[in-house]
Amino acid sequence: MTTLVWFRDDLRLADHPALAAAATDPGGLIALFVLDEVSAGVRPLGGAARWWLHGSLERLRDDLAARGIPLILRRGAVGEVVPDVVADAGVTRVLWNRRYGGERHHDAALKERLRAGGVAAHSFPGNLLFEPGAILNGQGLPYRVYSAFWRACLAHPAPAAPVAIPEHLTAAASQPQSDTLDAWALRPTSPNWAGGLAERWTPGEAAAQARLTRFLDGGTAGYAAGRDFPARATGSELSPHLRWGEVSPREVWHRALDAGADVAVFLSELGWREFAWHTLFAAPDLHLRGLNAHFDAFPWETAPGAELAAWQRGETGFPLVDAGMRELWQTGFMHNRVRMVTASFLTKNLLIDWRIGEAWFWDTLVDADAASNPFNWQWVAGCGADAAPYFRIFNPVTQQHKFDRDGAYVERWAPDALLTPEIVDLRASRVRALAAADRARGATPGSPSAE
């Protein structure tokens, strides 16, 4: 018996249920990664994500090679590539960890096709804390409010303990041909805009484990109080590692609890990530359609020009917004509080369609995933699950006063921001946004406003 382990967004060896299940196969295993950018409904990766993927695959390849297993790389539609590899290599069993976005329909079709051809095919839970079908409200429907969702999660049996890296892995005698990683051209070359990403980040499982250890050893004490202040190094910055599955949420969960500190707030952030994925499971077109139908009639600006360009470049004249957008461009990352401020500014002060902002973050964030990115944009825009009322508009001046009063964050990323003219009047643009929301809802104008 020869087993194919199909890697996807789980580029690790630890707590990899499919790999663990394959370890006992006497016929050895084949490790496969497929870059699928052509199957229907598959969203092509953004530039920053492609950069990260290259590094993560390099390290997975090296980790597997140290155990005598080559990593096979193929490009194309998974529904064709996987069966081709199975046939060429005489594979009798295919294993993978589950995906929860629109790709799962391709996985289901592939499983059916393989089984019809006499090949065993099995999938495993490994990339979420709880399976989406296990956390439902009293009507058997997905939750739309986070607090109720997270209470249900905490009342559920605890996430399973992580699975150890198999002690022994054996390569199948017959290994299929592989593409070369460089041939995929995932890294930018002309120009190479990723220098700042390389300075800040090291992809791969070892780096993920090291970052988790550093955070748990010294970061949890100040996390709850400091997580909203972008100049403070209180965040875990595990999000890109979780996005690529270089560390599993189950391992983060159990190691955080074992650390013995007060980690409830940190774990609730894992819960927010979980909420996004459960929402995507129920609404696979999350990046295209708002969950709140009231906003279907909202007069978003869908063909913006100079204002969008100023936002993207960090030249709006509002220092906190500009600092966040420049941090994003230089490093592929932005502090969570600043993400909310920049997204609110785009959607409410500029009235630019949230999908345009989501697409920009999709292209520039190293941690942009199919669930959290559109989910959080919808939350800020007011059209998503558990969304704040539309009249809650993040005032970038007030937010800077609260969370970067001494200007340390702005000084680091946008020291010249005060010299840039403001591209919009905050008060007038807020009034305009509230009026537009009232019209879209068919409500009586005059809803309260907040900052």
Instruction: Please identify every residue annotated as catalytic.
Output: 269, 272, 300, 336, 354, 377
On whether the CB atoms of residues 346 and 399 are closer than 8 A, the answer is no
- As to burial, measured by CB atoms within 10 angstroms (0-12 exposed, 13-18 middle, 19+ buried), residue 155 is exposed
How far apart (Å, rounded) are the C-alpha atoms in residues 360 and 327?
14
CA distances from 55 to 34, 51, 62, 180 (A): 15, 7, 11, 13
**Token pair of 368 as six digits:** 């942009």
β pairing state of 29-35 and 71-75: parallel
Identity of the amino acid at 405: R
Determine what percent of the chain falls in helix, strand and coil, rounding each to the nearest 5.
50, 5, 45
How far apart (Å, rounded) are the C-alpha atoms in residues 365 and 334?
8
Which 3 state secondary structure label does DSSP give 450? strand
How far apart (Å, rounded) are the C-alpha atoms in residues 83 and 89?
10
Dump the DSSP string for 171-219: B-SS------TGGG--S--TT---HHHHHH---SHHHHHHHHHHHHHHT
**Token pair of 411 as six digits:** 């000084």
How far apart (Å, rounded) are the C-alpha atoms in residues 189 and 275?
37
Q: Which residue's entry shows tokens 């952030």?
A: 269
CA of residue 32 relative to chain centroid, distance: 22
In this structure, what DSSP letter does residue 43 have? P
How far apart (Å, rounded) are the C-alpha atoms in residues 287 and 354?
9
On whether the CB atoms of residues 238 and 252 are closer than 8 A, the answer is yes
CA distances from 63 to 57, 72, 173, 204 (A): 10, 13, 19, 10
> From edge to edge, which strands make up the β-sheet containing 93-97?
71-75, 29-35, 3-7, 93-97, 120-124
On whether the CB atoms of residues 163 and 134 are closer than 8 A, the answer is no
How far apart (Å, rounded) are the C-alpha atoms in residues 430 and 87?
60
Whole-number CA gyration radius for the chain = 23
How far apart (Å, rounded) are the C-alpha atoms in residues 413 and 316?
14
